[in-house]
Amino acid sequence: MSARVPPPFPADTSLELRPAEMERLVRLAMDRIVPHVDSLSAQRAADTEGAAALSRSLIEREPPETGAPAEELLDLLFDRAIPKSFNPASPGYLAYIPGGGLFPSAVAGLVAAAANRYTGLFAAAPLLVQLETNVLRWFARIAGYPDGAGGFLSSGGSLASFSAIVAARCDRLPENFLSGVLYVSDQAHHCLAKAALLAGFPARSVRVIPTDDAFRIRLDLLGAAVAEDRREGRTPFLVVGNAGTTNTGAVDDLDALATLAAREGLWFHVDAAYGGFFLLTERGRSRMAGIARADSIVLDPHKGLFLPYGSGCLLVLDAATLRRAHGAGGEYLPGMQSDPDLVDFCEISPELSRPYRGLSAWLPLKMHGFGPFRRNLEEKLDLASYAAAVLARREDVEIAAPPDLSLFAFRFVRRGDREDGLAARNRRILDAVNARGRVHLTATTTKGRTLLRICVLSFRTHRDRVDAALEDLAAAADEAAAG
**Which of 399, 388, 401, 462 has the alpha carbon at shortest distance from 249?**
401
Residue 191 near ligand PLP by CB under 6 A: yes
- Spatial distance between the Cα atoms of 126 and 143, rounded to a whole number of angstroms: 25
Q: How far apart are CA 168 and CA 295, in angstroms?
A: 8
Closer residue to ligand PLP in complex, CB, 159/173: 159
In the set 100, 109, 157, 304, which binds ligand PLP (CB under 6 A)? 157
Residue closer to ligand PLP by CB (options 90, 246) is 246
The minimum distance between CB 296 and ligand PLP, in angstroms, equals 13
For ligand PLP, the closer of residues 269 and 411 by Cβ is: 269
Give the DSSP letter of residue 117: -
| 401 neighbors 214 (Cβ within 8 angstroms) | yes
Are 381 and 251 within 8 A, CB to CB?
Answer: no
Say whether residue 454 binds ligand PLP (CB under 6 A). no
> Which residues lie closer than 8 Å to 135 by C-beta, 6 or more apart?
153, 358, 361, 362, 365
Residue whose CB is less far from ligand PLP, 189 or 269? 189
Which CB atom, from 456 or from 476, has the smaller least distance to ligand PLP? 456
- Verify binding: residue 252, ligand PLP, rule CB under 6 A: no
Collect contacts of 363-369 with beta carbons under 8 A, ≥24 apart.
363/104, 363/105, 363/107, 363/108, 363/111, 364/102, 364/104, 364/105, 364/108, 364/307, 365/135, 365/138, 365/305, 367/104, 368/104
**Residue-wise burial string across 257-284, b where 16 or more C-beta atoms lie within 10 A, e elsewhere:** bbebbeebebbbbbbbbbbbbbbbbeeb
**What are the CB-based long-range contacts (under 8 Å, 24+) for 3-9?**
none
Question: Is there binding between residue 151 and ligand PLP (CB under 6 A)?
Answer: no
Instruction: Please tell me whether residue 308 binds ligand PLP under the rule CB under 6 A.
Output: no
Q: Does 150 participate in binding ligand PLP (rule CB under 6 A)?
A: no
- Stretch of 154-162, 179-187, 279-287, 384-392 contacting ligand PLP, by CB under 6 A: 154-162
Query: Which of these ranges, 55-63, 169-177, 218-226, 270-278, lies near ligand PLP under the rule CB under 6 A?
Result: 270-278
Give me the least distance between CB of 246 and ligand PLP, in Å please.
4
Smaller CB distance to ligand PLP: residue 246 or 426? 246
Q: Give the DSSP H/E element, type plus range, for residue 271.
A: strand 267-272
How remote is the C-alpha of 164 from its chain's centroid? 15
Least separation in angstroms between residue 157's CB and ligand PLP is 3
Closer to ligand PLP by CB, 308 or 312: give it. Answer: 312
Q: What gap in Å lies between CA 31 and CA 118, rounded to an integer? A: 30
How far apart CA 239 and CA 225 sit, in angstroms, is 11
Binding-site residue total for ligand PLP (CB under 6 A)? 14
Q: With contact defined as beta carbons under 8 Å apart, do 163 and 349 qualify? A: yes
**Alpha helix ranges (H) inside 188-343:** 190-198, 219-231, 254-264, 282-287, 301-304, 319-326
> Contact between 156 and ligand PLP (CB under 6 A)?
yes
- Taking CB under 6 A as the binding criterion, the range among 120-128, 267-275, 335-343, 358-366 that sits at the site for ligand PLP is 267-275
| Out of 250, 251, 254, 273, the residue judged to bind ligand PLP by CB under 6 A | 273
- By CB under 6 A, is residue 97 in contact with ligand PLP? yes
**Which CB sits closer to ligand PLP, 102 or 429?**
102
In degrees and rounded to multiples of 5, residue 138 shows phi and psi of: -65, -45
Q: Does position 404 bind ligand PLP by CB under 6 A?
A: no
| CA distance linking residue 194 with residue 207, whole number of Å | 13
With 0-12 CB in 10 A as exposed, 13-18 as middle and 19+ as buried, what is 190?
exposed
Q: Which region, judged by CB under 6 A, interacts with ligand PLP, from 101-109, 244-252, 331-339, 459-467?
A: 244-252
Choices 13-21, 155-163, 284-292, 425-433; region in contact with ligand PLP by CB under 6 A: 155-163
Work out which of 137, 172, 189, 269 binds ligand PLP, going by CB under 6 A. 189
Least separation in angstroms between residue 271's CB and ligand PLP is 5
Burial (0-12, 13-18, 19+ Cβ within 10 Å), 80: middle
Is residue 300 close enough to count as binding ligand PLP by CB under 6 A? yes
Q: Which stretch binds ligand PLP (CB under 6 A): 87-95, 269-277, 405-413, 441-449?
A: 269-277
CB of 191 to ligand PLP, least distance (A): 5
Least distance CB 222 / ligand PLP (angstroms): 18
Q: Which range of residues in 151-159, 203-211, 262-270, 380-388 is near ligand PLP by CB under 6 A?
A: 151-159
Is residue 294 within 8 A of residue 272, CB to CB? The reply is no
Nearest-angstrom CA–CA distance, 191 and 136: 22
Contact segment (CB under 6 A) with ligand PLP among 28-36, 240-248, 370-378, 418-426 equals 240-248
Residues that bind ligand PLP (CB under 6 A): 97, 156-158, 189, 191, 244-246, 271, 273-274, 300, 312
